[in-house]
Structure 1
Amino acid sequence: MEGKRDMNTMEVEVATSVPSLPSKPKFEALKAHEMSDGQVQFKMVAVPDHRYTPLEKAWLEIYTPIYEQMKIDVRMNLKARTVELKTRADTPDVSNLQKCADFVHAFMLGFDITDAVALLRVDELFIESFETKDVKTLKGHHKSRAIGRLSGKGGKTKFAIENATRTRIVIADTNIHILGSFTNNKLARHSLCSLILGSPAGKVYSKLRAVTARMAERF
């Protein structure tokens, strides 16, 4: 009995004498020049012909946040008609390169600078693009009428969808681009697809109001 009692006492002593685990070490994030063995990383964004003049006029507004805030070098390659981006030694985060590329790409798609610059500041935003033919194959006046329904008179329908879903929408012929969060983009895309399929704007408005009301109650 005494031997058993001694063994139990030893087990308790061993169990209580286990040292506590050391605290988890903390490491600073790697800078851009420390990634990929210190090699400079590049991104290039093509400039469509119809966006060359707007880019020239808005170049300073594009250059300033990229170079000064995101610490990314940027230049316009006139020969190749591309905007070239590369990391610097003082780039704080390598993800800044992709954010800047998305920002420039958004401008090329037709988004205003004030809307596109949100891609540099908010991580949850992205751009979703699709064509009318991805929803329904339309030809002739049916296609032009569908595009007209997307914008509405004076852009009223597009503005209503943007305000209700907190997104920004660019309609370039049959191409549609949406800038926003995942949930909001999905809601805006559903409304636009309904218009392409022939739903009247009034019906789309009523569905939007119902969905946004539910979302407001949930959050």
Structure 2
Amino acid sequence: MGETKSMDMDMVEERRTEGPFKPLTGTEVNRSNEIRRVMVPENRMTPLKNQWINIVTPLVEHMGLHVRMNTKRRCVELKYGPDCTDIGSLQKGVDFIKAFLLGFELQDAIALLRLDDLYIESFEIKDVKRLNGAHLSRCIGRISGRDGKTKYAIENSTRTRIVLAGQKLHLMGAFHNIKLARDALCSLILGTPPGKVYNHLRIVSKRVQEKL
């Protein structure tokens, strides 16, 4: 009876050491027939065509994915290729395509393939404050600034990238940095003068530099 309990305890300890799941091998990843589709907005079809080679190359050569444009469905289709060994590659590829279609520069979107701690967050101006007509136009002007000065200041201070598309705002960066950029944007939407936002950004920039 004592020997049986000892054997049972040994088996439990062995299971705990091995863990419940083993990592997938490259062969097991390639067996997946999963296809992910990313719909292409009409206004992003031309930029997608112009940059198609530059978009496909890193996905195929570095991520090991198969990519094609489905013209009937107006979507980009991605699936695992035979050389893909990372099960996370497909999701990274989808995030990369989505980032480009949201309006991020290609080189900024490519960072999503190389770094694991980058995220995208989107919200609308009306989520913060409901504005119409001239009030909305002035709000968009405050966010952008003359020649994009305010937007660039927020990007540089918080180490993020921002896309202003109509009433929608898309942010890319590390989780904490996105929060800093979002706070600055929300202040502008609520009517805070750009001068106060700039002063706050200087403090934020120093904190970000200290953490680095």
Equivalent in the alignment of 1:207: 200
Relative to the length of structure 1, the TM-score reads 0.85
State the Cα distance separating 1:25 from its structure 2 match: 6.2
Indicate the SS of the match to 2:77. strand
Equivalent in the alignment of 2:174: 181
Equivalent in the alignment of 1:41: 34
Relative to the length of structure 2, the TM-score reads 0.87
Instruction: Determine the C-alpha separation between the residues in 2 that align with 1:203 and 1:141.
Output: 22
1:97 counterpart = 2:90: yes
Contact map agreement 2:157 2:201 (CA 8 A) in 1 = yes
For the pair shown, which has the larger CA radius of gyration, 1 or 2?
1
State the Cα distance separating 1:35 from its structure 2 match: 4.7
2:43 is aligned, of 43, 50, 57, to 50
Q: Provide closer, same or farther for how the CA distance between residues 31 and 46 of structure 1 changes in structure 2, counting only shifts above 3 A.
A: farther
State the Cα distance separating 1:214 from its structure 2 match: 3.0
Indicate the SS of the match to 1:86. strand
Q: Provide closer, same or farther for how the CA distance between residues 33 and 41 of structure 1 changes in structure 2, counting only shifts above 3 A.
A: farther
Contact map agreement 1:40 1:88 (CA 8 A) in 2 = no
1:192 counterpart = 2:185: yes
State the Cα distance separating 1:100 from its structure 2 match: 0.3
Q: Provide closer, same or farther for how the CA distance between residues 178 and 94 of structure 1 changes in structure 2, counting only shifts above 3 A.
A: same
State the Cα distance separating 1:30 from its structure 2 match: 1.4
Contact map agreement 2:38 2:94 (CA 8 A) in 1 = yes
Aligned identity (percent) is: 53
Indicate the SS of the match to 1:73. strand
Deviations 1:117-158 (A, max 9, x none): 000000000100000000000011001100111000000000
Instruction: Determine the C-alpha separation between the residues in 1 that align with 2:18 and 2:186.
Output: 50
Contact map agreement 2:69 2:77 (CA 8 A) in 1 = yes
Query: Please, which runs of 5 or more residues in structure 1 have no aligned partner?
Result: 1-20
1:140 counterpart = 2:133: yes
Indicate the SS of the match to 1:124. coil
Instruction: Determine the C-alpha separation between the residues in 2 that align with 1:142 and 1:82.
Output: 36
1:30 is aligned, of 24, 27, 37, to 24
Equivalent in the alignment of 2:77: 84
Amino acid paired to 2:111? A
Query: Please, which runs of 5 or more residues in structure 2 have no aligned partner?
Result: 1-12
Instruction: Determine the C-alpha separation between the residues in 1 that align with 2:102 and 2:120.
Output: 10
Contact map agreement 1:31 1:91 (CA 8 A) in 2 = no
Q: Provide closer, same or farther for how the CA distance between residues 160 and 125 of structure 1 changes in structure 2, counting only shifts above 3 A.
A: same
Instruction: Determine the C-alpha separation between the residues in 2 that align with 1:105 and 1:155.
Output: 23
State the Cα distance separating 1:198 from its structure 2 match: 0.6
Deviations 1:61-94 (A, max 9, x none): 1000001100000000011000000012321111
Indicate the SS of the match to 2:130. coil
Indicate the SS of the match to 1:117. helix
Instruction: Determine the C-alpha separation between the residues in 2 that align with 1:113 and 1:46.
Output: 17
1:74 counterpart = 2:72: no
Superposed CA RMSD in Å reads 2.3
State the Cα distance separating 1:29 from its structure 2 match: 3.6
Equivalent in the alignment of 1:153: 146
